[in-house]
Structure 1
């Protein structure tokens, strides 16, 4: 009976303490900050474990290098999306907390609080202004995808290549504000992998004829569900970016938001070809699906350079890139790759 009474008294104490002890603004904000840090750590740890699992499958020859790269890319995109979604919830909590402080619903221990780079100033009339301390240089994850076209003498080659020829690109970038006191001009540079796919028309395949790469009818008479040549370039992109986001002023300090408004980027890229292969998918005589991949030298140029541009709002933009170097090094007719699509730059 004494034991039961002891627990009852303890529960009552906890209950009454929760009723009369209110958390301060700083304590609640700190809890939100810890949640954001924990979310980021959890997603990064999960991504690390997924990548290690893929690497193990690759070492055991259970998947190919291309399949491993595709899985890693999918996992990275999923984890980035998870972080963005979960952190948005915490950001909403922070916004509500700030509003509660403005309305006088929560107490504060001091006049100034700084949490996760967010400075909160409490004025004499108990109003609160929150400004993010934007760094002059920020890092970003870049992902783009869209359609590929081969250009011959300024014309799109629709006769030999399907409209479904595509590309995707992913990488990392650094975005540096050029002028200390002006947000208009930025220099964006980084490292990216560009995956370009060319899909022939009329059930044809790529073949090497001496030093040239040509399209031929399949000698085995197969009907392809997929026939494509993929070449992967590792490039260093560099762009001059115009960011039309307005500056923010808080007292005697000025802040420059990144990617909160209209953006225009103009620049180019240069790099090397790291891989080229042909992939064929068809049904065999038994009706079973067969995937055939041929890695080799299809005489894709070892070096690549080109121009690129994008225009958009916030993290989303329309994107175009054009290889000034012909795709194939020894063909009699030069054909250059044009890519049009969409692009995401995630801070």
Structure 2
């Protein structure tokens, strides 16, 4: 009777601990959902505001010029709201990663047991044994280049043109008794930066986004556009299965990995940042106008590596700018981490 009582108390204590403590992956997933909800809320609100303006225009309550001004005002407000609210979530994520590095956050265990006395008294409270679907926190960074007519533009942009991506992914083993094939899918934010060289900046001229002379010496010129995407890859994981106590286990991200797939999503925001000196004073100018960045994004991507680290490449199949006479597509090369 005492032994049974001890089992029950131990199980209840362990269950309470699990219920009260969020794991790292759960917290990352929560932040990702918050960002998705923020974007949806603000875009839905903008649609309502624009519809009201359109109704006023139809009823001749305002002029076309006044309607355009109001739409731009609402668009700027919603873009600023998205930026401010997402920045708060990004701060949470940064602190979360720091806490994980410092060991302050509980890891997502695949299995746990409670042992009492000898082997005969061992009780498995719950055994996940390398679940068929696992989750990872994804972080990637590298350089961006525009591709025009199959040629990479290495002259018009600085090497510091960069990208970084973070999100959460799920990895599902496709075969019941083989560890080679996995389906990897998730949700990511891709931050793309283009940094023109030679004191050039982006400008919307007659509906086309082109590089123009800034007319001054620039310390920084950067166009940033952020995409919320759903990536999906067929992953080949060469991690060997394990057999222990006549049981078969399928660990992942422990050996060479190769992923081939793509992504699709939409543009969240775009802005240009200029930094320069004016009469000895440092000036930082942000412009959140319409640079004709494609609203809808889709592309192909691949990675190859070992364990949690891999080399990463992605290529946007849609042009960066929608109305330009010559299509320019973004190519990104870098490194990627899948924290299992």
Give the aligned partner of residue 126 of structure 1: none
Shift, 1:87, TM fit: 7.1
Say if 2:329 is the partner of 1:333. Answer: no
Give the aligned partner of residue 193 of structure 2: 197
Task: Give distance in 2, aligned partners of 1:154 and 1:29.
Answer: 62
Larger Rg: 1
Give the aligned partner of residue 133 of structure 2: 137
Shift, 1:40, TM fit: 4.5
SS in 2 for 1:208: strand
Contact kept, 8 Å, 2:21 with 2:106, in 1: the verdict is no
Alignment of 1:89-238 (within 5 A): 107-108=117-118, 110-114=120-124, 133-218=129-214, 221-238=215-232
Give the aligned partner of residue 293 of structure 1: 286
Cα distance change, pair 153–86 in 1 and its aligned pair in 2 (3 A)? same
Shift, 1:72, TM fit: 3.0
Structure 1, unmatched stretches of 5+, are: 1-23, 56-62, 119-131
TM-score (norm 2): 0.72
Cα distance change, pair 305–80 in 1 and its aligned pair in 2 (3 A)? same
Say if 2:302 is the partner of 1:306. Answer: no
Give the aligned partner of residue 319 of structure 1: 312
Say if 2:268 is the partner of 1:274. Answer: yes
Q: What are the Cα deviations for residues 255-306 of structure 1, in whole angstroms up to 9, with x where unaligned?
A: 100211111100011111121111112223252x322111121111121111
Give the aligned partner of residue 255 of structure 1: 249
Say if 2:258 is the partner of 1:264. Answer: yes
Task: Give distance in 2, aligned partners of 1:29 and 1:283.
Answer: 65
Contact kept, 8 Å, 1:260 with 1:313, in 2: the verdict is yes
Task: Give distance in 2, aligned partners of 1:90 and 1:141.
Answer: 12
Shift, 1:29, TM fit: 12
Structure 2, unmatched stretches of 5+, are: 1-5, 39-79
Task: Give distance in 1, aligned partners of 2:119 and 2:106.
Answer: 25
Shift, 1:328, TM fit: 1.0
Q: What are the Cα deviations for residues 172-196 of structure 1, in whole angstroms up to 9, with x where unaligned?
A: 2111100111110000111111111
Task: Give distance in 1, aligned partners of 2:107 and 2:272.
Answer: 46
SS in 2 for 1:173: strand
Task: Give distance in 2, aligned partners of 1:243 and 1:41.
Answer: 25
SS in 2 for 1:169: strand
Task: Give distance in 2, aligned partners of 1:326 and 1:310.
Answer: 22
Task: Give distance in 1, aligned partners of 2:12 and 2:326.
Answer: 64
Give the aligned partner of residue 18 of structure 1: none
Cα distance change, pair 199–271 in 1 and its aligned pair in 2 (3 A)? same
Shift, 1:34, TM fit: 8.3
Task: Give distance in 1, aligned partners of 2:268 and 2:124.
Answer: 46
SS in 1 for 2:283: strand
Number of aligned residues:
290
Task: Give distance in 2, aligned partners of 1:292 and 1:32.
Answer: 54
Task: Give distance in 1, aligned partners of 2:81 and 2:220.
Answer: 18
Give the aligned partner of residue 240 of structure 1: 234
TM-score (norm 1): 0.71
Task: Give distance in 2, aligned partners of 1:156 and 1:269.
Answer: 22
